[in-house]
Amino acid sequence: MNSRNGLRNITPVNTAIIIINVITFIVLEILGDTNSAWFMYEHGAAEAESVMMYHEYWRLITCMFMHFGIRHLVNNMIVLAFIGDNLERAVGKLRYLIIYFGSGFLASAASAYIAWRQGNTTVSAGASGAIFGVVGALIYVLIAHRGVYEDLSLQRVILFAVLSIYLGFQNSHTDNIAHLAGIIFGLILCIIVYNSNKEPHRT
């Protein structure tokens, strides 16, 4: 691989997002206990009543960079490291930002709304809504590329999505609404911003 190809494979946005998540986790661990729902709420995690009744919409963004314990962080960052770079190379940096933050925000909003309607006061945090948004966007990219893009295939990505959602429903602590909404919004946003007939914008 020559240096030009190596530079072309660099995904600065996805890498920066992973670094910010890790730094945020370290800072929160220094300040307190990331496994404590109250501590996480005090520092920006989402909770339905706070969002829907008191309009603390900023929580829908801050919660995307917060994780309950090291296992939660590691699991999410490993997945993001493996699939986020593929999507960023496919759509470009700016469109990746739109898809990641757009689907993450909307997935968190959908989760908060459903929880509020159900009277659920669970505190939620994690990048999984945005990560499932990346999955949804990759599904559209793979469809546009006839089922294969770089080292990914449409069948593998769909299988990953189905298994992840299935396993999520086996765990009462998983925010399944955010996962499902993330895939849907990621797919929709990718349809809006991505044109497979053009090279990705170099931003």
φ/ψ of 145, rounded to 5, equals: -100, 25
> Which residue numbers are catalytic?
128, 179
Question: In whole angstroms, what is the distance from residue 149 CA to residue 146 CA?
Answer: 8
In this structure, is the dihedral angle defined by the CA atoms of residues 192, 193, 196 and 198, taken in order, positive or negative? positive
For residue 153, the cross-strand partners are 148
CB 110 within 8 A of CB 178: yes
State the DSSP string of 15-36: HHHHHHHHHHHHHHHHHS-TT-
CA angle (135 as vertex; 46, 126 as ends), nearest 5: 20
Question: How many residues in total does the chain contain?
Answer: 203
